[in-house]
Structure 1
Amino acid sequence: MLRWARERASLAPAELAKRVGLVVRRVEAWEETGELKFEHLERLAEKTHTPVGYFFLPEPPATELTISDFRRVAGEGPQPPSPELIDTVNQCQLRQQWFREHLIAEGAEPLTWVGSANLDTAPVSIALAIRAALELDRRPLSMNWTEAVRSLYQRAEELGVLVVRNGVVGNNTHRKLRIEEFRGFALSDRYAPLVFINAVDSKAAQMFTLVHELCHLWLGQSAVSDGDPTTNVATERFCNAVAAETLAPASEFRAAWDPAFPLPELTARLARLFKVSTLVVLIRAREAGLLADDVFEAVYAAERDRVGEIDARGGGDGGDFYNTQNARLGGRFAAAVISSALEGRTPYTEAFRLLGFKSTATFDEYARKLGILP
């Protein structure tokens, strides 16, 4: 159980020893003998994000996600989810349930587009519906990446989606989310659909993930994805096709393709034009018959390695704490919880738990930032 807790947290013995403030030999001895002081067990539980009671089980418990897991690594089945992923999904489900009940109490109507399609629906049809809902045809071509991302998030929220972006678990900057594990997930609901975006990712990847997860909501699915554009999972390939057609429609893509430019320059130009990653551009080019398979394989592999190096450096979502909360919580959700608490309909203890706050001062300051308190 001690070894399971450490490995589940993706920690080597030396790293765990450093976190608990002891020499590595002590950690190794624990795992060899199963003997340690309770104060050390409590410290170990904290550092591995494991309930203390788990250590007294005869064998490790099942650590499965409560939603469909479409992640794949090298074509294999999904790897066991990390504590960070499990806690993030659970936290979002808790918030979604509260917001769902809040909306129903307020007399909200169910969203008819959630679950309105299935895998027999043509991807182009769903892409057209999403493009219309997000008003992508009205988006100025002069938009830069930051403006395009902000606009897409805003339109998704106006559509009724709780859009949550975070690169850590809650507000714990010591528990980072890894894009190698997942890029996003969707929690389907007719009243409070939610999309979570791993904010460590690049802007281009975040935009693609958002539309990919919106497709899951159109299908009425709750699922976690790793964003692999070459996945062999049928549902993921379907959602990738919808996302690609939504952001870079085939007809517009063909019209913009100009072989007079060197391929690297052309790829970068189209990525900026359609606000997608260069990897998506290359895949669209192959699908349209604009790149031969052998050329695609060589170029795609090199570009994937280049993008992977950029991803490895990480991005994050740092900055002003209160501004960051709008992304980490979703502005509509946060405003609803704060207003409900101030009106006496939600206990402050529950409001703090939902928001991830620990003090009244933080709660009041955020309420002022949102314009709810003077």
Structure 2
Amino acid sequence: MVVRVRVEPALLRWAVDRAGWTEETIAQRAPRLDAWLADNARPTLKQLERFAHSTHTPLGLLFLSEPPDEPMPIPDMRTLGNRAITRPSVDLLDTIYACQSRQDWYRDYATNNGLPGVEFVGSADVSDSPERVATQVRSALKFDLPQRAAFNTWEEALRKLIDRIEGIGILVMVSGIVGSDTHRTLNPEEFRGFALVDSNAPLIFINGADTKAAQIFTMVHELAHVWLGESALSDAPMARHTENAAELWCNQVAAEVLVPLASIRHEYRGQLSVSELERLARTYRVSTLVILKRLHDAHFLAWDEYQARYEVELERVIAALTERRGSSGGGNYYYTQPIRLSRQFARAVIADTFEGKTPYRDAYHLLGTKKHQTFQNLVAEIGAA
């Protein structure tokens, strides 16, 4: 006997909207959805399980009487026309939940092992001078222009910046997908990063689907949120005004850390071309979009001209990124996974597991693997054996 279940139509529609499905996706993955919504037919339990899996919805939620309230778990600093963006995607929510779970584990680990708190968390305020705080950040990271000049590629600059941020006690996770699921790509147009602030386990997550140069700016922007002592979800807007004081301040700090105003005024040759933007971007190891913003800040570009040039440059950057993605392979799991997890976090989990304090089953879950051999290979890659 086939068991069919009734589900409130509002819950089915909520699950589809939450997953961001288009009409085409619905037709492919849930062709009988219209009949279920109209209550002309009911799904079998197996059909409902497949639907829950496809929409990344916990099955139990589909048996509620109405859609649950699912607020953003951290302060949302993203804006669209100075209005808050109200509907987060399931990919974004699952990413935040996973990072919160890892942060909770690491907080307990730090406490149990007597690790000191991170002293600069919450040490600044939006009333502080962005230039003064930028000097503090550059000093803490040792990421000034002479140090950056030694990096040959964006990827090397990003890796070194990650290492230096982790070296001052902050977990840094960079990923362009949800967990280890390569079919769930994060959308940089939805968010670029977030900070989960904690005095013992501060954490920064960067959307790895963005360009390497853009990730560098976002990382320092989120680092500024840690200095403020405020968790935040950000899109780090540069081409539009924001009324959010914290976002504006964090942008100013990040821009001054990476491209000091006095320096760009001296370095700029006065001819705004693609080659000049790329030269300056290579010099400072940031995106050409950040260079445009600093040229505006230095009064070389009026606001209207800056916005127009920003849109043109953004299209060029996106086209180049799309072309590179189309020609690149999937990458090496054992090379990318430690970056997705945070090397500092992964080393702590592995060490705690080898000491018998964290069960292997829990370690597999925290590290995003299901097999012992994969765990062992990660140990070899991270060098934590």
| TM-score bin, normalised by smaller chain | over 0.9
Q: From 141, 150, 172, give the equivalent of 1:134.
A: 141
| 1:28 correspondence with 2:34 | yes
- 2:194 counterpart residue number: 185
2:76, 2:84 within 8 Å by CA — same for their partners in 1? no
Aligned partners of 1:187, 1:313: CA distance in 2, in Å?
Answer: 33
- 1:63 counterpart residue number: 70
Q: From 231, 249, 253, give the equivalent of 1:242.
A: 253
Shift of 1:371: 3.3
What letter matches 1:265 in structure 2? Answer: S
1:199, 1:317 within 8 Å by CA — same for their partners in 2? no
3-state DSSP class of the match of 1:164?
A: strand
Aligned partners of 1:54, 1:271: CA distance in 2, in Å?
Answer: 48
What letter matches 1:116 in structure 2? Answer: S
Cα pair distance change 1:358/1:309, threshold 3 Å: same
3-state DSSP class of the match of 2:236?
A: coil
- 1:290 counterpart residue number: 300
Q: From 152, 160, 175, give the equivalent of 2:184.
A: 175
- 2:368 counterpart residue number: 356
Query: What does 1:256-295 correspond to in 2, within 5 Å?
Result: 256-259=267-270, 261-295=271-305
TM-score (norm 1): 0.93
- 1:302 counterpart residue number: 312
Structure 2 unmatched runs, 5+: 1-10
Shift of 1:135: 0.7
- 2:119 counterpart residue number: 112
Cα pair distance change 1:187/1:132, threshold 3 Å: same
- 1:329 counterpart residue number: 341
Shift of 1:372: 3.6
Range 271-280 or range 70-79, more displaced: 70-79
Shift of 1:273: 1.0
Shift of 1:313: 6.0
- 1:215 counterpart residue number: 224
| 1:166 correspondence with 2:172 | no
Count of residue pairs brought into register by the alignment? 368
Range 289-298 or range 114-123, more displaced: 289-298
1:201, 1:314 within 8 Å by CA — same for their partners in 2? no
Aligned partners of 2:106, 2:157: CA distance in 1, in Å?
Answer: 27
- 1:18 counterpart residue number: 28
- 1:143 counterpart residue number: 151
Q: Deviations over 1:180-201 (max 9, x none)?
A: 1111001111111111011111
- 2:16 counterpart residue number: 6
Cα pair distance change 1:292/1:248, threshold 3 Å: same
Query: What does 1:45-124 correspond to in 2, within 5 Å?
Result: 45-124=52-131
Structure 1 unmatched runs, 5+: none
Range 104-113 or range 214-223, more displaced: 104-113
Cα pair distance change 1:52/1:102, threshold 3 Å: same
Aligned partners of 2:73, 2:324: CA distance in 1, in Å?
Answer: 28
Q: Provide the aligned C-alpha RMSD in A.
A: 1.9
Aligned partners of 2:20, 2:366: CA distance in 1, in Å?
Answer: 27
Range 282-291 or range 236-245, more displaced: 282-291
- 1:346 counterpart residue number: 358
Cα pair distance change 1:204/1:372, threshold 3 Å: closer
Shift of 1:346: 0.9
| 1:251 correspondence with 2:262 | yes
Range 164-173 or range 140-149, more displaced: 140-149
TM-score (norm 2): 0.90
Q: From 31, 47, 51, give the equivalent of 1:44.
A: 51
What letter matches 1:288 in structure 2? Answer: A
Range 69-78 or range 160-169, more displaced: 69-78
What letter matches 2:151 in structure 1? Answer: M
Shift of 1:35: 2.2
Q: Deviations over 1:238-297 (max 9, x none)?
A: 1111100000001111010111x3433322221111122222212211221112344323
- 1:367 counterpart residue number: 379
State the identity %: 43
